[in-house]
């Protein structure tokens, strides 16, 4: 993975050197596939011309190229891929691209308390306090035979009522979980960026020591570098860091 990223970095630096002679470009059409499905919202960047494109719902895209241009394909859940335009692409004006999906493994799953006692009578009263839009009648089961568990009239409620209660607030919980997942991904992003690129990248291309790497990555967040990484736009992450190198070194007086 790191070897592939070094190749992409060198391509990016080479593309910005302005030593490439201008050539007439033609528009090629292509389709991007992964795991037997066509991929939407895959970003395509021509490093040689700095032009970009995005695949549609059918995985299709169009982009101007010329011979030996370098195209970078990147998406949130897929490994970035670099392709050098060959003669066959120029002749046929067609590209078929396959991306490899990222496989994420969870290190740990933490189950948080649900704050329930297991007694229907007690838990429904607590539910009334936490849901402002639920009327008193909605959680009043006094006439249904579901009394205080300390009384002799307490019975287990039917399964359909329990199922209904578990659905209350499900949408809100999903939204909160999605937001928490994104926040967790942002927190982990600095370490993951460092791991993906390797300390050698920061030493060679940024000129900083191992103790400064995390500080530099967080410094680049004012350009949303962490958000870009979480969204799978690794080439833009590298581009931002290369551009912000001078500002960081100046702020911390590394060249003095």
Can you give the CATH number for the domain in which 65 is found? 2.60.40.1120
Judgement on whether residues 135 and 197 belong to the same structural domain of the protein = no
The Cα 242–Cα 13 span in angstroms is 9
Judgement on whether residues 73 and 16 belong to the same structural domain of the protein = yes
pLDDT at 174: 74
Mean pLDDT of 106-120: 52
Does residue 106 lie in a domain region?
no
Judgement on whether residues 94 and 181 belong to the same structural domain of the protein = no
Judgement on whether residues 184 and 201 belong to the same structural domain of the protein = yes
* The pTM of the whole model exceeds 0.75: no
Report strand pairing: 26-34 vs 94-98: parallel
Q: Which of 107, 134, 168 is the last residue of a domain?
A: 168
Residue ranges making up the domain that contains 192? 173-251
Interacting residues of 239 by C-beta distance below 8 A, sequence separation 6+: 12
Judgement on whether residues 10 and 89 belong to the same structural domain of the protein = yes
Confidence of residue 31 (pLDDT cuts 50, 70, 90): very high
pLDDT at 18: 45
Does residue 198 lie in a domain region?
yes
Digit-coded pLDDT (tens) for 122-156: 555 555 555 444 455 544 545 544 445 444 444 44
Confidence of residue 215 (pLDDT cuts 50, 70, 90): very high
pLDDT at 236: 87
Let me know if 75 is exposed, middle or buried by CB neighbors in 10 A (0-12, 13-18, 19+): buried
Does residue 71 lie in a domain region?
yes
Q: Which residue has the higher pLDDT, 237 or 113?
A: 237
Domain count, the chain: 3
Judgement on whether residues 56 and 141 belong to the same structural domain of the protein = no
Judgement on whether residues 6 and 94 belong to the same structural domain of the protein = yes
For residue 227, pLDDT beyond 60: yes
Judgement on whether residues 201 and 137 belong to the same structural domain of the protein = no
Secondary element (H or E) of residue 17: none
Sign of CA dihedral 253, 191, 199, 50: negative
If you average pLDDT over every residue of the chain, what do you get?
76
Judgement on whether residues 8 and 92 belong to the same structural domain of the protein = yes
Does residue 110 lie in a domain region?
no
Judgement on whether residues 243 and 178 belong to the same structural domain of the protein = yes
H and E: helices and strands count for the chain? 9, 8
Judgement on whether residues 83 and 153 belong to the same structural domain of the protein = no
Does residue 152 lie in a domain region?
yes
């Amino acid at each position: 993975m790191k070897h592939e990223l070094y190749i992409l970095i060198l391509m990016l630096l080479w593309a910005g050197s302005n030593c490439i002679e201008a050539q007439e470009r033609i528009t090629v059409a292509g389709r991007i596939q992964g795991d037997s499905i066509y991929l939407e919202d895959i970003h395509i960047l021509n490093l040689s011309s700095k032009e970009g494109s995005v695949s549609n719902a059918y995985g299709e895209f169009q982009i101007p190229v010329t011979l030996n241009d370098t195209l970078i394909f990147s998406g949130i859940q897929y490994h970035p891929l670099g392709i050098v335009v060959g003669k066959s692409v120029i002749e046929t004006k067609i590209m078929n691209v396959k991306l490899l999906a990222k496989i994420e493994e969870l290190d740990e799953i933490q189950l948080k308390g649900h704050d329930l006692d297991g007694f229907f009578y007690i838990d429904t009263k607590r539910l009334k306090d936490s849901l402002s839009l639920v009327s008193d009648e909605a959680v009043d089961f006094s006439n249904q035979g579901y009394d205080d568990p300390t009384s002799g009239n307490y019975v287990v409620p039917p399964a359909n009522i329990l199922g209904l209660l578990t659905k209350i607030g499900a949408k809100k919980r999903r939204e909160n979980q999605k937001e928490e997942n994104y926040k967790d991904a942002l927190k982990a992003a600095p370490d993951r960026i460092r791991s993906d690129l390797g300390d050698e990248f920061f030493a060679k291309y940024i000129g900083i020591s191992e103790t400064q790497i995390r500080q530099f990555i967080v410094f680049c967040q004012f350009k949303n570098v962490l958000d870009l990484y979480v969204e799978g736009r690794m080439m833009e992450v590298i581009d931002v860091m290369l551009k912000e190198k001078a500002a960081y070194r100046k702020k911390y007086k590394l060249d003095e």
